[in-house]
């Protein structure tokens, strides 16, 4: 512990960059500043797919900052219909422009992703359902994660209703705050704002036809678990006593892997069986994915790291340590997924 305190004091005065080399040395392809020079396997997709986007300073990345309301302002032409009306019409079929939602549907999505007013559990479910339905009706790949999150949210609510948690109030806060981070970054994307670096990556990949749908969907999961989750845990005042409930949530969500696979296949035609069974259940196809994938791409392992990063973020000296680890973990997995995609392992056929 003395070593952590000493590291924290040094980082507090010198900034995160000074600690970065020790984190990045074990991750080839990364510079000391935490950005990628290149990724193995990206050349097939071209420079746009291979370059890591500039890291964004999303208001929701900092646990003690409030969202910047100016960032959330929708363009004048995107006048919003009342949110309540849109939520009640959550299964309305989208109007499409090719394989993307059209401008009118974007207005509805902007309203559905608005987090400026307090949301209830029912609001969260209705909004996620509505967003997934609109993207899915057009097979708009930006909605791949929404389809995943639709299943995850339903299972989380079922876990809460089952009465198996020790702290139901904390569980409610967890579901709402966690979902709001997805909604917040989606809205920034839709209005031309600046989501956090993970969601920037997700929406960039989602609009590249030569990137597999499986890769896009898993990227969304990793963003939400590795980057959004630690800040969520901090903001809802998570303590050590909540640990059993946190991991129980994880167990229940992991059991929904087959539902996720079916949903992605039914709505988008994505064949994510092998990847998602490995990711959620540890049932990897022998010899297909490699040791690096099976070590780093684990639902429960990523959640454990987020629990630990929550602890660092709650210490006055621990922020730089947590942020370095979160960024390193995300970009390492991103590079692994790129390599798998380039080799054809993640083909959607």
Provide the β-strand partners of residue 97. Answer: 100
Instruction: Give, as one character, the DSSP assignment of residue 34.
Output: S
Cβ–Cβ < 8 Å for 44, 345: no
The string of pLDDT tens digits covering residues 151-166 is 999 999 999 999 999 9
Cβ–Cβ < 8 Å for 322, 23: no
Q: With H, G, I as helix, E, B as strand and everything else as coil, classify residue 203.
A: helix
Cβ–Cβ < 8 Å for 232, 314: no
pTM: 0.76
Q: With H, G, I as helix, E, B as strand and everything else as coil, classify residue 97.
A: strand
- pLDDT at 288 exceeding the cut of 80: no
Q: What is the pLDDT of residue 291?
A: 75
CA–CA dist 104, 309 (Å, integer): 40
Maximal CA-CA distance, the chain: 59
Average pLDDT over the chain reads 79
Instruction: Give, as one character, the DSSP assignment of residue 96.
Output: E
The string of pLDDT tens digits covering residues 189-199 is 999 999 999 99
The string of pLDDT tens digits covering residues 206-256 is 999 999 999 999 999 999 999 999 999 999 999 999 999 999 999 999 888
Confidence of residue 187 (pLDDT cuts 50, 70, 90): very high
Instruction: Give, as one character, the DSSP assignment of residue 116.
Output: S
Cα dihedral 51, 274, 292, 303 in deg (nearest 10): 80
Q: Of 11-20, 28-37, 45-54, 58-67, where does mean pLDDT reach its minimum?
A: 28-37
Task: Choose between 341 and 90: higher pLDDT.
Answer: 341
Confidence of residue 71 (pLDDT cuts 50, 70, 90): very low
Query: What are the backbone angles phi and psi of residue 130, rounded to the nearest 5°?
Result: -65, -40
Q: What is the pLDDT of residue 46?
A: 28
Residues contacting residue 77 through CB under 8 Å, at least 6 positions apart: none
| Mean pLDDT on 137-157 | 97
Q: What is the pLDDT of residue 281?
A: 86
The token duo for 157 is 């609510």
Q: How many residues does the chain have?
A: 349
């Amino acid at each position: 512990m003395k070593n952590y305190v000493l590291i924290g004091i040094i980082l507090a005065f010198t900034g995160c960059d000074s600690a970065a080399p020790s984190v990045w040395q074990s991750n080839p392809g990364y510079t000391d500043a935490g950005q990628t020079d290149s990724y193995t396997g990206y050349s097939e997709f071209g420079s746009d797919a291979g370059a890591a986007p500039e890291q964004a300073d999303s208001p929701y990345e900092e646990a003690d900052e409030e969202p910047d309301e100016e960032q959330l302002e929708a363009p004048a032409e995107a006048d919003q219909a009342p949110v309540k009306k849109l939520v009640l019409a959550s299964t309305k079929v989208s109007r499409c422009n090719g394989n993307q939602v059209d401008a009118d549907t974007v207005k509805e999505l902007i309203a559905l992703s608005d987090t400026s007013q307090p949301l209830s559990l029912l609001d969260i479910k209705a909004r996620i359902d509505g967003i997934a339905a609109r993207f899915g009706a057009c097979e708009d790949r930006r909605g791949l994660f929404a389809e995943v999150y639709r299943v995850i949210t339903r299972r989380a609510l079922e876990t809460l209703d089952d009465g198996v948690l020790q702290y139901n109030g904390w569980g409610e806060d967890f579901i709402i705050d966690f979902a709001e981070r997805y909604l917040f970054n989606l809205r920034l994307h839709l209005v031309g704002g600046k989501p956090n670096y993970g969601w920037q990556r997700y929406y960039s990949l989602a609009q590249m036809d030569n990137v597999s749908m499986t890769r896009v969907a898993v990227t969304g999961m990793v963003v939400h678990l590795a980057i959004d989750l630690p800040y969520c845990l901090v903001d809802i005042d998570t303590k050590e006593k909540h640990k059993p409930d946190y991991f129980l949530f994880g167990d229940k969500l992991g059991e929904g892997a087959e539902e996720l696979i079916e949903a992605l296949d039914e709505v988008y035609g994505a064949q994510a069986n092998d990847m998602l069974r490995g990711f959620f259940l540890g049932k990897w196809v022998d010899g297909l994915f490699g040791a690096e994938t099976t070590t780093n791409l684990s639902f429960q392992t990523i959640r454990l790291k987020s629990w630990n990063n929550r602890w660092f973020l709650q210490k006055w000296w621990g922020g730089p340590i947590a942020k370095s680890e979160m960024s390193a973990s995300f970009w390492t997995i991103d590079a692994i997924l790129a390599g798998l995609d380039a080799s054809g392992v993640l083909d959607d056929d």
